[in-house]
Amino acid sequence: MATTKLGFIVQRPGLKSENQKLALTHAIASQSVEIYLDDDDEVLCDVAFIGDGVLNCIKDQKTLENYDLNSTESHVKMGLLCDLNIFVCKEDLEKFGLSESDIVMDANEIGGDMDVRVVPYDEITKMMEEMNHLLFF
């Protein structure tokens, strides 16, 4: 059995580009990657929002209502539903005057068990070190 770990680092706000959405949809695709792998092999994806990228996590996004597009918030929730580790940098949230009450933290309403983890940047550094490959968005 072999495991490859990929770290998706989102460092820019969304909607001016596809970056934040594609980071999440690609990470969520780890749920079906086994069709390309041998039995017991796996790809695990962690997602971290850092810098201006934390602004993607503000809750109550009405992108669907205004632009007929799925919101980044909905993709974060789908990631949680798929049991991805999703980190948000604590220092960057605080820099913008935001706290856990301002951002999407769980996916309880769609049956997700995982929570977003607001962590110091040092923990995100540790996650990056544990990954086999990094993808910056």
Contact footprint for another protein (CB under 8 A): 2, 4, 6, 9, 11-12, 17-19, 22, 25-26, 29-33, 35-37, 41, 43, 45, 50-52, 121, 125, 128-129, 131-137
Nearest alpha-carbon partner for 11 in 107, 104, 128, 126:
128
- C-alpha 93/C-alpha 83 separation (Å) is 23
Q: Minimum distance between the CB of residue 101 and another protein, rounded to whole angstroms?
A: 25
Q: Minimum distance between the CB of residue 11 and another protein, rounded to whole angstroms?
A: 5
Residue with Cβ nearer another protein (104 or 127)? 127
Residue with Cβ nearer another protein (11 or 71)? 11
The token pair that represents 12 in the structure block: 């820019």
Q: Minimum distance between the CB of residue 103 and another protein, rounded to whole angstroms?
A: 19
109: exposed, middle or buried (C-beta count within 10 Å: 0-12, 13-18, 19+)?
exposed
Give the amino acid at 52: D
Strands 117-119 and 133-136: unpaired
Residue with Cβ nearer another protein (2 or 66)? 2
Q: Minimum distance between the CB of residue 108 and another protein, rounded to whole angstroms?
A: 26
